[in-house]
């Protein structure tokens, strides 16, 4: 079941809701299995990276007026999970 959940988490890396829905069960299974395999122990020690976080960029209307020179278009084009509040 752990392998199945990890594959599901991996293949849904663009979907925050799908990834974060699997994380609690993955963490509980990792806790049980961590002693059986060094790699699972490593993942257990770094489990905080399983949770997908959203990142926010907050700017003013003056900042938004000149977005092309701020480089923000590169971040938005990267398809990373970034939200912008102007």
CA dihedral 1, 54, 16, 75 (to 10 degrees): -120
Model pLDDT, residue 74:
80
Residues in contact with 58: Cβ distance below 8 Å, sequence separation at least 6, in sequence order: 84, 85, 86
Write out pLDDT tens, residues 8-45.
999 887 788 888 889 999 999 999 888 888 888 898 99
pTM, entire model: 0.62
Mean pLDDT taken over the chain: 84
77 pLDDT higher than 80: yes
The answer on pLDDT for 63 being more than 90 is no
């Amino acid at each position: 079941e752990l392998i199945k959940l990890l594959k599901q988490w991996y293949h849904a890396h663009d979907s925050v809701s799908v990834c974060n829905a699997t994380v609690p069960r993955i963490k509980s299974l990792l806790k049980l299995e961590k002693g059986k395999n060094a790699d699972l122990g490593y993942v257990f020690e770094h489990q905080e990276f399983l949770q997908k976080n959203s990142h926010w960029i907050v700017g003013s209307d003056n900042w938004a007026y000149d977005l092309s020179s701020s480089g923000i278009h590169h971040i938005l084009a990267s398809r990373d999970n970034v939200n912008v509040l102007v």
